Amino acid sequence: MTDKNGFFDLSKSTLSRRTALKGLAAGAGLAVAPGFIRYSQAQSSAPVKIGFQSHRTGIGAAYGRWYEKTTAAAVKAINDAGGINGRPVEVVIEDDGTDPARGAEVVGKFATQHKTDIVFGTLFSHVVIGSAPAAGEAKIPYFVVSEGHHVASTKLNRYVFQPGITDVKSQIQSMAPWIAANAGKKVTQIFPDFAFGYDHRDYLPPALKAQGADVIAQIAIPPTESSFTKYFPQIPAETEVIYHVMVGPAVLTFVKELGEFYGSNRPQLFGFMDSLEATDINSPGLEFLDGSHFWEGSPRYAQPDDSAAQKAYRAAVGIDDNGAAVGDPKDVSTASHMFGCWETLYVVKKAMEDAGYKGPEDRAKLVEATEALTEFAEGPEHPQGPKTFNGKIHQCFGIQNISKVEGGKLKVVHKTKIEDGLYEPEGDYTTQAL
Amino acid sequence: MHFGPHLLLAALEGLVTSAVLALTALGLSLVFGVMRVVNVAHGEFFMLGAVLAWAISTAISGHPAIGFLAALVLAPLIVGAIALVAERLVLRRLNYNPEATIVATIGMLYIIQQLALTFYGPEARPVEPPFSYRILLPWFGYSGYKLSVIAASALLLVATWLVLTRTRIGLVMRATQYDSETAQAFGIPVDRVYGGVFALGAMLAAIAAVLIVPISQAHYLMGQDPLLLSFIVVIIGGLGSLRGTVVAAVLIGLSDGIISVFFSPTLAKIIATFLVAMVLVFRPQGLFGTESR
């Protein structure tokens, strides 16, 4: 073997004075560059890696896209303010296909391949329930923005948290008095036939019963269904309120067919915004919704009494006063849920700073530090409103909005109080081994 | 709701399903009958039709009917052109080998679906119906547009039947289906017939999608259900038989509508799949199919 090109000839690669000066200058330039100095106090300036399990494809894809936008905005805000413990935050995104099996694989991939510090993200409850065991096994903290009651039910494990969005059981409990008092006493429920829908099926009847109202029929619809008229004859004629919560790409069809079926001669409607997330409320055929009510996590439309924090949050994420992407009024956001990504990332930041988190070896400390949190004040970090956090059930509790459709917009007519949604914990995660 | 109106609603819903299903399945059946290609990407041509209908109808301002009619003409043509390109680039190079084309069309399914996700996005988007007349029955309201879908589909089916039985193109297609080698020996450009049939099959799916899209929105995953149901219809009706396809589509559509209104939609799917199994066991060529030679 001959070395014709002199690759291995060390004598050729002498360090010239010019090269040395260049290198020095570049090094000095980096050191004064913005961003570098801020992280320089940290012992390690390696980024905090957050594995983001996103619904990029599958029936949750519209949510996934807006969750990514909100997360990117929150990470930018956190990094601009100096990162977490002086370290920049880096997000690694993997697609879970809105599929539980794929979700569990993605969690495993974050833990072993990307070696992220935590896993964060996803919405659909069956994906969370499917992924939670993988997070527990890998002992990697798993922060979800899912809305379902599965975290608070304490049936998952100690590594799963939901600190950014109130769970369904609490939402229902806090809104039931309003429904019974303002909408009607005989309620028919329409819900998706999977975990998230079952939370509604199980917790609405007792919550209404306590207010002297009754659920007279429950209609479960598969989440992949594309045509709904055939279910409507099951709605009893004496129904005063239709309580609807649907998910998936066919939500608009659902609401439209409901309109065709009833016309203006309809019972009262109370819906979860899930039935219309990422869908323009002024789509043709939805006129009959005028005057009906919706639950909203965070209001889609800008409200006259919006706080400065709420305004700043909307601007950072890039949504206009109608809750659509700035510059594209047809690209409607999932405003009722995605605020949870923003807030959860700030909870992660707080917990990591409390724990003095340095790397994956401190994951147990991070779990304990998160469990020790009790309150999140309303402000730039929590623009949706104040929240309390129960470390035993890993769940936060916040205010809920009830909005009325008026003139093609959603106007908040009632805000619940945090106390309205509190319930007896069903268990205690802190007794589980780490 | 009383039994009578309940049954009427079920039948109406079933007929709408049948109408769309018959068109989609007919496309699948034609492609198989003439080319012996199992087109797994058929549902994606359906989806493309819906997505293009959205794009065309939003690009054209004015009364919704203008945009819709433009979509009804243009979307199937574009889809047909895409199918023709796919046929020339992929299927022809595989010599229409049955096993290879199944794998190739599975590949096409994913390519089309992911391209739609990339360029169209994950949202379900609505197309405004050309007219929104609500028929008020004494017991419930029903969309007038849905009834017009049934009529339009029936017209298109008759037109397809006329083309197949009364025109020279139809004769050439039937000759190719009957025996492609002999047809070639008699000077029929079998290769071009294959290209045309594949495009026509995709166009039928696209037309069905344009008709349904004002009822259910355009979404990049919407091709899966029609594909499955089309296979069920084509297997029950007999591969390559126009009459069988239409009869099976009405059968499956009506039973789906009626069973899902009175019992549950899941049961309707179970029964349809069970029917397929029974047909395969007792009459493998389908209700109206002929024994393969």
Q: Residue A61 sits in a domain of what CATH number? A: 3.40.50.2300
Does residue A324 fall inside a structural domain? no
Q: What is the reported pLDDT for A286? A: 83
Please indicate, yes or no, whether residues A195 and A152 belong to a single structural domain of this protein: no
Tell me if A253 and B216 make a contact (CB, 8 A cut-off): yes
Q: Which domain holds residue A61?
A: 48-167+338-398+426-431
Tell me if A284 and B126 make a contact (CB, 8 A cut-off): yes
Partners of residue B265 in chain A, C-beta under 8 Å: 222, 225, 230
- Nearest Cα residue in chain A from B13: A230
Question: Which amino acid would we find at residue A31?
Answer: A
CB burial of residue A120 (10 Å; 0-12, 13-18, 19+): buried
Instruction: Give the up-direction half-sphere exposure of residue A6: CA atoms within 13 A in the CB hemisphere.
Output: 5
Q: Could you tell me if B261 and B6 are in contact, meaning their C-beta atoms sit under 8 angstroms apart? A: yes
Highest mean pLDDT among B29-33, B49-53, B56-60, B126-130: B49-53
Residue B52 Ramachandran class (φ > 0 left, ψ -120 to 50 alpha, else beta): alpha
User: Rounded CA gap, A218 and A221, in Å?
Assistant: 10
Does residue B179 fall inside a structural domain? yes
3-class DSSP assignment, residue B218: strand
Please indicate, yes or no, whether residues A223 and A296 belong to a single structural domain of this protein: yes
- Nearest Cα residue in chain B from A254: B216
The total number of structural domains that make up chain B: 1
- Nearest Cα residue in chain A from B143: A260
Tell me if A230 and B140 make a contact (CB, 8 A cut-off): no
Q: Which of A62, A232, A253 sits opposite B123 (nearest CB)?
A: A62
Does residue B165 fall inside a structural domain? yes
Please indicate, yes or no, whether residues A205 and A288 belong to a single structural domain of this protein: yes
For Cα atoms B275, B277, B281, give the angle at the middle one, nearest 5 degrees: 115
| Chain B touched by A225 (CB under 8 Å) | yes
Does residue A9 fall inside a structural domain? no
- Nearest Cα residue in chain B from A333: B123
Q: Which of B124, B143, B265 sits opposite A252 (nearest CB)?
A: B124
- Nearest Cα residue in chain A from B141: A261
Partners of residue B64 in chain A, C-beta under 8 Å: 284
Residue of B20, B47, B58, B134 for testing the chain A interface, max A β-carbons within 10 Å: B134
Q: What is the reported pLDDT for A78? A: 96
Does residue B287 fall inside a structural domain? no
The total number of structural domains that make up chain A: 2
Question: Which amino acid would we find at residue A156?
Answer: L
Question: Which amino acid would we find at residue B232?
Answer: I
Residue B21: pLDDT band (50, 70, 90) is very high
Alpha carbon A81 to chain centroid distance?
Answer: 22
Q: Which two tokens stand for residue A192?
A: 């998706």
Partners of residue A330 in chain B, C-beta under 8 Å: 125
Question: Which amino acid would we find at residue A99?
Answer: D
Residues 331-370 of A with CB under 8 A from B: 331
Can you give the pLDDT of all 434 residues of chain A as single tens digits? 455 554 555 444 455 666 556 655 655 555 445 444 444 444 567 999 999 999 998 888 889 999 999 999 999 999 999 999 999 999 999 999 999 999 999 999 999 999 999 999 899 999 999 999 999 999 999 999 999 999 999 999 999 999 999 999 999 999 999 999 999 999 999 999 888 899 999 999 999 999 999 999 999 988 778 788 888 888 998 999 999 998 877 888 888 888 888 887 889 999 999 888 988 888 877 888 889 999 999 999 999 999 999 999 999 999 999 999 999 998 899 999 999 999 999 999 999 999 999 999 999 999 999 999 999 999 999 999 999 999 999 999 999 999 999 989 999 999 999 999 999 999 999 999 98
Residue B255 Ramachandran class (φ > 0 left, ψ -120 to 50 alpha, else beta): alpha
Instruction: With CA atoms as reference, report the closest residue to B123 among A57, A193, A342.
Output: A57
Partners of residue A331 in chain B, C-beta under 8 Å: 123
Distance from CA of A226 to the nearest CA of B (A): 7
Partners of residue B257 in chain A, C-beta under 8 Å: 230
Q: What is the reported pLDDT for A1? A: 46
User: Rounded CA gap, B167 and B162, in Å?
Assistant: 7
Tell me if A233 and B140 make a contact (CB, 8 A cut-off): yes
Q: Which of A64, A249, A261 sits opposite B219 (nearest CB)?
A: A249
Q: Alpha helices, DSSP H only, in A46-193?
A: 61-80, 100-109, 125-138, 168-178
Please indicate, yes or no, whether residues A73 and A135 belong to a single structural domain of this protein: yes
Residue B238 has pLDDT above 80, yes or no: yes
Crossing angle for the helix pair B3-35 and B168-178, nearest 10 degrees? 70
- List of residues 6+ apart from A200 with CB closer than 8 A: A168, A172, A189, A191, A243, A245, A272
| Chain B touched by A402 (CB under 8 Å) | no
Q: Which domain holds residue B93?
A: 3-282
Tell me if A284 and B136 make a contact (CB, 8 A cut-off): no
Q: Could you tell me if A142 and A122 are in contact, meaning their C-beta atoms sit under 8 angstroms apart? A: no
Please indicate, yes or no, whether residues A87 and A234 belong to a single structural domain of this protein: no
Residue B62 has pLDDT above 60, yes or no: yes
Please indicate, yes or no, whether residues A149 and A180 belong to a single structural domain of this protein: no
Strands A186-192, A142-144: pairing is: unpaired
Q: What is the CATH number of the domain that holds B259?
A: 1.10.3470
φ, ψ for residue B111 (rounded to 5)?
-65, -50
Does residue B32 fall inside a structural domain? yes
Q: Which of A227, A233, A279 sits opposite B216 (nearest CB)?
A: A227
Give the DSSP letter of residue B91. Answer: I
User: Rounded CA gap, B157 and B114, in Å?
Assistant: 31
Q: Could you tell me if B134 and A264 are in contact, meaning their C-beta atoms sit under 8 angstroms apart? A: no
Tell me if B215 and A232 make a contact (CB, 8 A cut-off): no
Maximum separation of any 2 CA atoms in chain B, in Å: 63
Strands B141-143, B134-136: pairing is: antiparallel
Strand partners, A52: A93, A120
Does residue B237 fall inside a structural domain? yes
User: Rounded CA gap, A92 and A377, in Å?
Assistant: 29
| Chain B touched by A87 (CB under 8 Å) | no
Q: What is the reported pLDDT for B142? A: 87
Q: What is the reported pLDDT for A29? A: 52
User: Rounded CA gap, A167 and A162, in Å?
Assistant: 8
The dihedral built from the CA positions of residue A238, A243, A249 and A253, taken in this order, carries a sign that is positive
Question: Average model confidence (pLDDT) for chain B?
Answer: 89
Q: Could you tell me if B243 and B37 are in contact, meaning their C-beta atoms sit under 8 angstroms apart? A: no
Q: Could you tell me if B107 and B93 are in contact, meaning their C-beta atoms sit under 8 angstroms apart? A: no
| Chain B touched by A59 (CB under 8 Å) | yes
Please indicate, yes or no, whether residues A362 and A406 belong to a single structural domain of this protein: no
Q: What is the DSSP string of A219-277?
A: EEE-TT----GGGGGGS-TT-SEEEE---STTHHHHHHHHHHHHTTS--EEEEEGGGGT
Partners of residue A253 in chain B, C-beta under 8 Å: 215-217
Please indicate, yes or no, whether residues A342 and A405 belong to a single structural domain of this protein: no
Q: What is the reported pLDDT for A40? A: 43
Chain B contacts to A (CB-CB under 8 A): 1, 6, 9-10, 13, 16-17, 64, 117, 121-126, 128-129, 132, 134, 136, 140-143, 215-217, 219-222, 225, 257, 260-261, 265-266
Does residue A122 fall inside a structural domain? yes
Partners of residue A257 in chain B, C-beta under 8 Å: 143
Q: Which two tokens stand for residue A367?
A: 């779990």
What string of H, E and C letters represents the secondary structure of A333-386? CCHHHHHHHHHHHHHHHHHHHHHCCCCHHHHHHHHHHHHCCCEECCECCECCCC
Count of A–B CB contacts within 8 Å?
90
Please indicate, yes or no, whether residues A260 and A385 belong to a single structural domain of this protein: no
Does residue B235 fall inside a structural domain? yes
Q: Could you tell me if A334 and A61 are in contact, meaning their C-beta atoms sit under 8 angstroms apart? A: no
Please indicate, yes or no, whether residues A228 and A377 belong to a single structural domain of this protein: no
Tell me if A230 and B217 make a contact (CB, 8 A cut-off): no
- List of residues 6+ apart from B85 with CB closer than 8 A: none
Please indicate, yes or no, whether residues A257 and A277 belong to a single structural domain of this protein: yes
